[in-house]
Structure 1
Amino acid sequence: MNPVDRILLVEDDPRLAEMLTEYLGQSGFRVTHAPTGRAAMDHIHSAEIDAVILDLMLPDMDGLDVCRQLRATSDVPVLMLTARGDAIDRIVGLEIGADDYLPKPFEPRELLARLRAILRRRVDVRHLDTARGSAGASASEEFLRFGRLEIDPAAHAARLDGVSCELTAYQFDLLLVLAKHAGRVLSRDALMDLLKGEPLEAFDRSIDVHMSRIRAAVEDDPKKPRRIITVRGAGYLFAKAQD
């Protein structure tokens, strides 16, 4: 991990914000605090950041709206914080592009582990793209085609019938891992290992939400998937034979 990763903390609780700013600063991060959604969007548009820690309950706007606006222009990793008891908020957050979530109250060490995990995945993707770019012809050899679905690792893009699929960076990584192991059932633990993610129980459950979003992008009928199959009690299987 880069010791000068720049973190935008969007949190209206001044005590929590002060504690997290100090804790993350001691862990090698440069933290900027935004107490409102509007302040967060102003900072996002005016400065470079490496990750966002985003509280869903803000005084001026819903954190989900902040996430939507952010995703319209940036793929920067987003870790949501939520004190809401309803799981639907976490599901919606993941579906609109958040990379992970953490319910309040939480242990600072767990937040740090999750933050490092989403940053590490971003670094891994950049290194992978750089390696593919320097490999020249070898990049085209890794282009994957399954019927009407094309997966281009070098461009970090998936296309169905030539139309780009709307996926977050993490969702594309999940799709790519599944495609590279087409025909094999991958458990959630196996997916976490292949993605170099943190083996945390709550995040493990969010894989299901990300998978639903991937299906919405690549399946003709997400309710009757033919490309990404759930094998009950075992995991997920990416079908080799596709139309």
Structure 2
Amino acid sequence: MNAIMPNMDLATRILIVDDDPGIRRLISSFLDKHGFQTATAANPIEMREKLAVDHYDLIVLDVMMPREDGLTALRSLQGRDAPAVIMLSAVGSDVDRIVGLEMGAEDYLAKPCNPRELLARIRTVLRRREKGGARSPAAPAAAEDVHDQRRFQGFRIDMDMRMLYDPDDRMVNLTDGEFRLLRAFVEHPRRVLTRDQLLDYARGEDSDHYDRAIDVQVSRLRRKLGETRGGGELIRTVRNEGYLFTPTVAKG
């Protein structure tokens, strides 16, 4: 046993339970690359078979499965030595989330979810369990995992985890280019930024010829921020100059 455990994921065993083989492969492959030991099950019956012969520290459990759903399966995962459970569901309503948490799940994520967010939630749950702490349904991310966060117009962006949440606290899926562009706007709010400045601020290592896509990226970002659904003009075009990010941005 290592006293310091520089990489807490090395010996951690995770079971992914989902009836979709593509999702099982995606999550398993992603977590394997981050040092976890994973196994998969297509349904709760296979889950219980694997639990009977192996120990798992955490289960990623889908809610919507045929014959026996995840919430029913969750009832059988009670007890002092039961693994932690993170629920995944395509039905991301508050009611379903609350029911899952009240039944003993440590956390709940709506599908489709960003694998990076799932990874962050898994690490948070495992750290909390290691310290013997109880889960907090109102705050799924532990305080130690709160990084550089900014807020604008009801949105929340985690600059370190590269995640954006809308005013209903649902994750907005952004491409790498869209995130870099939004970060540039958030770090320079209420200032006119030329296309060349946006290119400099948002450029990544793999962004050759990115300048030619600035206008396209802005259009896509506007759509994802909900401007076309009455969310207001968050990114204003300034003729012959560039773009202006109009909201006030607050830290924390």
Gaps of 5+ in 1: 126-168, 175-187, 207-243
Q: Determine the structure 1 residue equivalent to 2:32.
A: 25
Q: Counterparts in 2 of 1:145-224, with a 5 A limit? A: 170-171=134-135, 192-193=142-143, 196=144
Q: Counterparts in 2 of 1:3-18, with a 5 A limit? A: 3-18=10-25
Partner Cα distance (1:22, 1:85) in 2: 24
Alpha-carbon offset, residue 41 of structure 1 = 1.5
1:43–1:101 Cα change, 3 Å: same
Question: 1:7–1:50: 8 Å Cα contact kept in structure 2?
Answer: yes
Gaps of 5+ in 2: 1-7, 150-155, 157-164, 170-252
Question: 1:121–1:197: 8 Å Cα contact kept in structure 2?
Answer: no
Q: Determine the structure 1 residue equivalent to 2:49.
A: 42
Alpha-carbon RMSD: 2.7
Asked if 1:107 corresponds to 2:104, the answer is: no
Q: Determine the structure 1 residue equivalent to 2:175.
A: none
The count of aligned residue pairs is 143
Partner Cα distance (1:72, 1:60) in 2: 24
Partner Cα distance (1:74, 1:43) in 2: 15
Richer in helix (by share)? 1
Question: 2:9–2:34: 8 Å Cα contact kept in structure 1?
Answer: no
Partner Cα distance (2:96, 2:72) in 1: 12
Question: 2:17–2:41: 8 Å Cα contact kept in structure 1?
Answer: yes
Q: 4+ residue runs of structure 1 moved beyond 3 angstroms?
A: 72-75, 196-202
Partner Cα distance (2:119, 2:110) in 1: 14
1:198–1:44 Cα change, 3 Å: farther
Question: 1:56–1:80: 8 Å Cα contact kept in structure 2?
Answer: yes
Which of 84, 96, 99 aligns to 1:92? It is: 99
Partner Cα distance (1:54, 1:39) in 2: 12
Question: 2:124–2:142: 8 Å Cα contact kept in structure 1?
Answer: no
Q: TM-score normalised to the size of structure 1?
A: 0.53
Kindly provide the amino acid, as one letter, of the partner of residue 59 in structure 2.
V
Q: Determine the structure 1 residue equivalent to 2:123.
A: 116
Question: 1:9–1:33: 8 Å Cα contact kept in structure 2?
Answer: yes
1:5–1:30 Cα change, 3 Å: same
Partner Cα distance (2:54, 2:43) in 1: 16
Identity of aligned residues (%): 37
Q: Determine the structure 2 residue equivalent to 1:79.
A: 86
Partner Cα distance (2:35, 2:93) in 1: 33
Matched residue of 1:71: which SS? coil
Q: Counterparts in 2 of 1:215-234, with a 5 A limit? A: none
Asked if 1:66 corresponds to 2:49, the answer is: no
Alpha-carbon offset, residue 72 of structure 1 = 4.6
Kindly provide the amino acid, as one letter, of the partner of residue 32 in structure 2.
G
Q: Determine the structure 1 residue equivalent to 2:152.
A: none
Question: 2:17–2:61: 8 Å Cα contact kept in structure 1?
Answer: yes
Q: TM-score normalised to the size of structure 2?
A: 0.51
Partner Cα distance (1:121, 1:75) in 2: 15
Matched residue of 2:22: which SS? helix
Question: 1:41–1:70: 8 Å Cα contact kept in structure 2?
Answer: no
Matched residue of 1:70: which SS? coil
Alpha-carbon offset, residue 170 of structure 1 = 1.8
Question: 2:84–2:125: 8 Å Cα contact kept in structure 1?
Answer: yes
